[in-house]
Amino acid sequence: MVDPVPPLREPAPAKLNLYLHVTGKRDDGYHLLDSLVVFAGVGDRIAAEAADAITLAYEGPFADAMPAPEDNLVMRAATELAALFSIGTGAALTLTKSLPVASGIGGGSADAAAALRVLIRLWQLPPDDPRISKLALSLGADVPVCLMTRPAVMRGIGEEITLLKSFPELHIVLVNPGVGVSTPAVFKKRTGDFSAPVDWRTDMDDADAAIEHLKETRNDLEAPAGQIAPEIADVRAALDREDGVRLARMSGSGATCFGIFGSAKAAETAAENIAGAHPDWWVAAARTYGA
């Protein structure tokens, strides 16, 4: 008897925008961004097994909040990758959903990117084929950087990615108040002048220096997101009250916020305090991936 082949598994880590400047707007309506992106040791997961057709199932604490599988970006990523390389077989995909939905930490984009990575392995495709990068961008602005899962500066509409030569690991706390925020709605609320891009060094490996530089930046979407979800201000206040917090701000288009702490112990203590005071919030202490 032949032993069954175990499924391939691929993490879909949370994506954090440590800063996010809106630098312009194209004629087609897409906004131009400048953002420092890192990934955290907490997230979703995709598993894949060989099958006759492409299918998607959900599990995990946020599975019930997901759309019908056929409406998930993971299914689009899988079917378009199969079509791109004329794949004659399918894949049974399982998404373990551990991140809140529509939370500004790249869950959907990270899931789609993880699906591409795991299917590249399952179908034995060339990972450096330039058609895969083009497919990733067509799926969404954040998918290309999530495909790489490394600290990077992302510009344009997501297609201009500069991987950092070095970047420190950071101790963070992620907090979501249980409110989903629509990214298009946040951009629609944004008003005022555009911001200048940040001159971020690609070889910064000192955490103190990185945090001080981040204090000179901001998230241009935090104010408009706060108009849609006032709870964001409560989350920021909860993080700012914790001992040892070095910097707190919203990630992406919200509503998840992060706090950077000086040590793993400080981050864990803050997460325990916030979770205890707000049991209906999603709270996680984690460490970001360095470069």
Catalytically active residues, by annotation = 15, 142
How far apart (Å, rounded) are the C-alpha atoms in residues 126 and 160?
A: 22
The two three-digit tokens of residue 267, written as one number? 């981050």
> How far apart are the C-alpha atoms of 46 and 279, rounded to whole Å?
28
Cβ proximity of 289 and 169 under 8 Å: yes
Q: Which residues pair with 259 in a beta bridge?
A: 173, 248
What token pair was written down for 241? 């009250």
Q: Rounded to an integer, what distance in angstroms lies between the CA atom of residue 95 and that of residue 7?
A: 12
d(CA 214, CA 275): 26
DSSP, res 25: E
Candidates 252, 245, 247, 249; CA nearest to 267 is: 245
59 and 98 Cβ atoms separated by less than 8 Å:
no
Query: Please, are residues 75 and 37 in contact by the beta-carbon 8 Å criterion?
Result: no
Question: Which H or E run contains 214?
Answer: helix 207-214
How do the residues of the chain divide into helix, strand and coil, expressed in percent and rounded to 5? 35, 30, 35
Q: Tell me, what DSSP letter sits at residue 251? A: -
